[in-house]
Amino acid sequence: MRINKPKPRLFKLQTSNFKSLLSSSAQEEEQDSRGQPHYQCIYNKKLLTTSQRKVNKMGNFQLKLVLLLFTVCAALSTLSTAQDFKCSTQTAARCQALVGYLPPNKTTISEIQSLFTVKNLRSILGANNFPPGTPRNFSVPAQKPIKVPIHCICSNGTGVSDKVPVYTVKKDDGLDFIARTIFGQLLKYQKIVEANNISNPDLIQIGQNLTIPLPCSCDDVDNAKVVHYAHVVEEGSSFELIAQKFGTDRDTLMKLNGIHDDSKLIAGEPLDVPLKACNSSIKADSFDNYLRVANGTYTFTANSCVKCQCDATNNWTLQCKPSQFQPSSPNSRWKTCPSMLCGDSESLSIGNTTTSNNCNRTTCEYAGYNNLSILTTLNSLSTCPSPSNNASRIGSWNLLLISIFLVLLHFHLIQ
């Protein structure tokens, strides 16, 4: 993917007393794609020794200004520190999550897949509800949000992507440029430094592989299963607008992100947005027991043999059916997809429903998979009226008929 790299604008102090002292230090201000200023303090090792040699030649006023410069610079760096996504769950240390990627330039689905080290293109198609047959070279305009699925792992109360994506450093790359431009402001460069144990952020090598720790979470929200989505806040947005867009509420967003009012919402920062997921019949011992599918999306599971879709109009119940694809996992023992029939049935397979007595429905549901087979379960639902309801209706009709008879008899006697 071709990235146009903007040249940073460096602003240096013009005061002659400081020019020689701070010639190797500057406060850099870059304007991001949304016009949001970003600040980064750049220091040079020579600065401290130079300060020590010249401090005696400076008056108190100049020294105070220098200290003020460093204080302001440090404060701006603090404002740029990315917020971690809370992940305190003990029951699901790993899960699937989503990040909202904003391409800096026009790109393709295939290039996004490569950038984020996503194994299967279908995963991205499903996360964005694109048709399964969408071609790899499908064009994505610049700054169009694309949901990218990631595997999330929880540790020490926070969640990050599990050792992916991996980015290879190219000529003229810098850590800040990689974080803010290449990966669409989903994280700050300090997170890359921490994840890769980089001792000097100014020294990275062409060809060096860097793990990119994207923010995520696996926690339930208000006792409900959700898919956590890292949404990059847009200029002029608010909690209310974001909540309406993603089907949640303002209070939930604020509580989840530890922010108490819109004035603390920063454009260009990732926000943890919980997307409600459909309920499923997947068993706890299934290989995909962590599977969560958000409303309006689909995914492939069981080595791509099963397609599962979440639609709120289906009573928030996960709808799964055979995908018609062959197993895609290279580690799978399956050469073909196993049987997806329910129990001893010869015709009822995953996603099929039978009806008896015009009101009893039985559905074959997906329940997970293991090394040998795809697991299924039967779910029965009755919409037949209960005997008590019938008796109540009969009693009501009788009462109505008696009432009509008495009224007619009354008019007859009067006449």
Place of tokens 């701006």: 76
Distance CA 107, CA 124 (A): 14
User: Is 51 a residue whose pLDDT tops 50?
Assistant: no
User: Residue 383 CA to chain centroid, in angstroms?
Assistant: 37
pLDDT tens, position by position, 90-102 = 655 789 999 999 9
Q: Pull the structure tokens for residue 310.
A: 């979440």
pLDDT band per the 50, 70, 90 thresholds, residue 381:
confident
- Which residues make up the CATH 3.10.350.10 domain(s) of the chain? 94-276
Query: Exposed e or buried b for every residue in 177-203, given b needs 16+ CB within 10 A?
Result: bbbbbbbbbbbbbbbbbebeebeeeee
Residue 189 has pLDDT above 50, yes or no: yes
Full-model pTM: 0.74
132 near 140, Cβ under 8 Å? no
Q: Rounded to the nearest 10 degrees, how much is the dihedral formed by the CA atoms of 45, 50, 51, 57? A: -170
Asked whether the beta carbons of 301 and 291 are under 8 A apart, the reply is yes
pLDDT in tens, 107-142: 999 999 999 999 999 999 999 999 999 999 999 999
For residue 41, give the nearest of 185, 196, 197, 189 by alpha carbon: 189
The CATH architecture that domain 94-276 belongs to is Roll (3.10)
Paired sense of beta strands 107-108 and 26-31, if any? unpaired
